[in-house]
Amino acid sequence: MSCVIRVRVPVELHAVAADGSGAFALATPLRVRELLALAVREAIGTRAPADKFLRSMHRTLSGLAQGDFTVDIDGRSFADADAVVVCGGTAAVRFYVRRRRHAGTLR
């Protein structure tokens, strides 16, 4: 079973107004870190304290940078938080663990 976090992608209204391009309303370019922020906020809830959100984001970005997991956004895998992904409406975000952490032996 796969857990999916669905996030609403914000529309870049300034780009639509300034350039007169409706394409930005249909497909918005975002950095992976921005989508991760939306996914973390969705996962912990909108009423979660700001410090919890910041700690969760720090752990998420750190784990991604260390290669603990990859992020799948609408079927494309990303390992870099600064990569740009284009999505519109909603984005399906999935996390895939790359390597297993070995627990110590139980005695």
Q: How long a stretch of residues is the chain?
A: 107
Over residues 16-67, the pLDDT tens digits come to 555 555 555 567 788 999 999 999 999 999 999 999 999 999 999 999 999 9
* pTM confidence score: 0.76
| 34 exposure class (CB count in 10 Å sphere: 0-12, 13-18, 19+) | middle
Over residues 55-107, the pLDDT tens digits come to 999 999 999 999 999 999 999 999 999 999 988 788 999 998 876 655 555 55
Is 105 inside a domain boundary?
no
Is 22 inside a domain boundary?
yes
Number of folded domains that form the chain: 1
Distances (CA, A) of 93 to 6, 21, 96, 105: 6, 27, 10, 34
Is 58 inside a domain boundary?
yes
Domain around 10: 5-97
Is 31 inside a domain boundary?
yes
Is 67 inside a domain boundary?
yes
